[in-house]
A = this chain, B = another copy of it.
Amino acid sequence: MLALYHFGPVANSLTPLLCLLEKDLPFENRRLNSRLWEHHTPEFQQLSPDGMVPILLHKGRVIRESTVINEYVDSVFPDPPLRPADPWLRAEMRVLTKYVDEYFCPALTVVGAHGATPFASKIDKAEMARILARMPNEEVRRKWQTVSNTGYSEAELADARRKLGNCLRRLEDQLAGVSGDWLLGKDYSLADIKWYSMAPALPRVLPDLCTAEGAPRTLRWLDAMAARPAVQALDTYRTPA
């Protein structure tokens, strides 16, 4: 009934995976191996013409974009609800998920993609040209062109780290402004799920800022997330099937 195509419990793929696990919904696990470029095959592109992952299949239709998938899942399978009923709180939830999509994710992508340079730069140039030619999305293709060449410049990496510092401050401020364990306060929501798709990278990428002194609320929230059964169940999806 439900089938999720994903890259495992990391970044945008984690977003719908964790949502399905929180709701205890059965789904077909279609783990793709990004390093084998399984998302750029003609078969997969029939489902996702842009080659974007994750996608959810439900009733023969494709739902795309992780943030949008989760709103869809919560509206079709509302138990337990992962969006606040109060319209203002729901708007705040969307401001938070939007920030991850527009600011946190692009910054973390630079750092993450740069980490793939040792892998991608070893690929034979003619083979890489063929791989690039199969990438339907122009921005993704340009990213991999950079990654398979020299990687990002020091200036680009520094700018990404600067932005990640802003993300950490935003997370810390958000948690300081609410009473309760979660980003919106008492109610665990899609905002926690979305931030958790990126935030576990912060202690590693910003070791000087993401500390017990500098970001105590962030570390406490990361621990509270890690203790959730659904988060622990993510491990099952770590290795390609």
Contacts and interface: CB of A to CB of B under 8 A. Distances in A.
A38 interface: no
A34 interface: no
A220 B80 CA distance: 44
A75 interface: yes
A64 interface: yes
A87 B98 contact: no
A68 B98 contact: yes
A94 B65 contact: yes
A218 interface: no
Give the number of times this chain occurs in the complex, counting copies. Answer: 2
Contacts of A101: 98, 102
Nearest to A159: B142
Q: How large is the interface on A (under 10, 10 to 19, 20 to 34, 35 or more residues)?
A: 20 to 34
A71 B91 contact: yes
A76 B85 CA distance: 12
A89 to B, nearest CB: 10
A103 B194 CA distance: 20
Contacts of A67: 94, 98
Interface in A71-95: 71-72, 75-76, 87-88, 90-91, 94-95
A98 B65 contact: yes
Contacts of A94: 65, 67-68, 71
Nearest to A62: B88
Contacts of A65: 91, 94-95, 98
B98 A72 contact: no
13 contacts: A63-B88, A63-B91, A65-B91, A65-B94, A67-B98, A68-B94, A68-B95, A71-B91, A72-B91, A75-B87, A75-B90, A76-B87, A101-B102
